[in-house]
Amino acid sequence: MDTIFLVLSLFLPRLTLLIYYFTHHIPANNVPFIGDFLLSVFLPRVLILIYIVDTLGTSSPWFWIHLIAAISVYSGFGKYSHKKYSKKH
């Protein structure tokens, strides 16, 4: 698995998946094509985690870095969601 893929997918997961799909460099995986498509549209970080587990395993530091990033993004630790929910009505 390319280090460039891992770094880019931390910050721009959908764009990274799109670029790697069109250049035919998507990592080998066990996910069917429809799963690849649906996960890349709705949950790209989950798909990237699946790619990492299939190629590097769960003991890789990249798995833990991406897992922490996914949890923080999906749980709303971002700046936008913090502003959105902290407004007083």
Q: What percent of the chain has pLDDT over 90?
A: 67
Q: How far is 86 from 52, CA to CA, in rounded Å?
A: 35
pTM: 0.83
CA 44, 46, 49, 51 dihedral sign is negative
Domain with 69, as residue range(s), is 3-86
Percentage of the chain beyond pLDDT 70 is 87
Unique residue bearing structure tokens 């094509």: 33
Q: Kindly state the average pLDDT of the residues 77-88.
A: 62
Return the higher-pLDDT residue of 1 and 48: 48
Cβ 66 vs Cβ 9: under 8 Å: yes
Q: How many CB atoms lie within 10 A of CB 71?
A: 11
Residue type, 10: L
Q: What is the pLDDT of residue 8?
A: 95
- pLDDT for the residue 70: 93
What is d(CA 54, CA 27) in angstroms, rounded to the nearest whole number?
Answer: 9
CB 26 within 8 A of CB 20: yes
Tens-place pLDDT, residues 20-62: 999 999 888 889 989 999 999 999 999 999 999 999 999 999 9
Number of structural domains (the chain) is 1
